[in-house]
Structure 1
């Protein structure tokens, strides 16, 4: 990863632009991004259950069972481009920006091609000795204009982050949502991060959380993609609330991302 531009107001506020080489992008898409999109741990657990059932007398000839085992063994990815962008944002934030996401939100989608409700990213960020709730929004754009409309239109990142800042009810729902996942995940670090973040959130006179906007681009690097939005947002989202924007530049066109993950080369989608 290369940092191509940066503006840091404080440890909690600023923006970054980062780019990846083609080999790095290939590795990301076919590796950890795909792992999220196929939900590998959940897939393996379900496959184990069905294969165990298949060994029982009376189930060996079940065509429905066989078909479902074959379906779970098929790891091809068939999702909308914005889902790939969200998974990519999660991986980059975890690997390079001290963010942590314990729950794969695709498990909550009854329709895998539908839109999620609430924020795109719900997790934690560690800054110095603080652990904060992270509420994030992700957009993917190939628009040549800078900034792209997904930053500035009524449903864009600027509006979404301001809405999260102005609406405590939405944040309460997100905090309740992530708390409900702790027993399902069974990760002790998840509970520790939640306990630290909720204390930071409700700390008297200095409660903090962090809003993160992530823009995925398959275009040329341009600081204007996020700088104007950051300048406007920091005047409305006031300290001590954390505010960060991140632009991620990839050398592979978004139309080829699924091909990359599915090993189909340059075939069209």
Structure 2
């Protein structure tokens, strides 16, 4: 079941005077989220296809049988709500905004219980005019009942992190370099097209990068989750990049490890 097969309801949205989307809130139709986690997110979390490929490579290289290597390639990052939220955000952003994420960054973890640094979302996006740009973003997952939740504030909150992404040229350069290295050897012609076009646009115009912040919640939809936070973000970015916020409401509580159990 892919994200674009999931029924999503638009709860609220805000567009500028030219009709360009600034932020929106969407929710899963009731009872659809658990199946989405099981059928779409769980295989990605476990990186099943990649691990199967790497196990076959290891068998060819070492001569060991599959049973001897199973325990090694079954290793996966610790299941957590924040990582589930990141993968949910990836799939929704891909299906809703013509974006593409080509590499599972968990493969770079030397410690499966550690966290990735840099940015939560690193990929590409096709704009309305057909141009392909780099897409970088931050994801926050919360079960707080305040609107907006605390994860939107402070130095570790979404808005400050997006501002840091948008104003720290060295950080942006590192992200561009990272994604170029990861995608450069990809044999997928579409991925090659994305990296080529995005790099061309970036070299010509550093402001071509699209920034997005995604809030994943298990509470009722509320526009106050994004409204004032977007005003603050837009003012602080000051036109340096395209910015957008998205709130995803699961309609399924994460209490007592309910989300983790589905992975």
Post-superposition shift, 1:70? 5.1
Gaps of 5+ in 1: 262-269
Secondary structure at 1:125 match in 2: strand
Find out whether 1:6 has 2:8 as its counterpart.
no
Q: Distance in 2 between matches of 1:240 and 1:133?
A: 14
Does residue 170 of structure 1 match 2:177? Answer: no
Counterpart in the other structure of 1:220: 220
1:235-254 alignment, distance < 5 Å: 235-239=235-239, 241-254=241-254
Deviates more, 1:252-261 or 1:155-164: 252-261
Counterparts of 2:21 and 2:236, CA distance in 1: 13
Give the Cα–Cα distance (whole angstroms) in 2 for the partners of residues 234 and 259 of structure 1.
38
1:117 alignment partner in structure 2: 117
Q: Give the conservation status (yes or no) of the 8 Å contact 1:12–1:242.
A: no
Q: 1:252 to 1:196 in 2, by over 3 A?
A: same
Match of 1:37 in 2: 45
- Answer yes or no: is the 8 Å Cα contact 1:98–1:126 preserved in 2: yes
Deviations 1:30-52 (A, max 9, x none): 12211221112211112324556
Query: C-alpha separation between the residues in 2 aligned to 1:24 and 1:213?
Result: 23
The 2-side partners of 1:251 and 1:71 are apart by 36
- CA distance 1:232–1:207, change in 2 (3 Å): closer
- Higher alpha-carbon Rg: 1
CA 1:218–1:201: 2 relative to 1, 3 Å: same
CA distance in 2, matches of 1:198, 1:105: 20
**In the alignment, which of 254, 260, 263 is matched to residue 262 of structure 2?**
260
Task: Pick the aligned partner of 2:23 from 6, 15, 19.
Answer: 15
Task: String of CA shifts for 1:223-256, please: whole Å, max 9, x gaps.
Answer: 1111111011111213362101000001222221
Distance 1:172 1:75, change over 3 A: closer
For the residue of structure 1 that corresponds to 2:93, the secondary structure is helix
Supply the distance in 2 between the matched residues of 1:39 and 1:51 (Cα, whole angstroms): 18
TM, length-normalised to structure 1: 0.85
For the residues of structure 2 that align with 1:16 and 1:174, how far apart are their CA atoms?
A: 26
**Residues 123, 134 of structure 1: 8 Å contact kept:** yes
The gaps in structure 2 that reach 5 residues or longer are 1-7
CA contact (8 A) 2:31 2:251 kept: no
Change (3 A) 1:76 1:175: closer
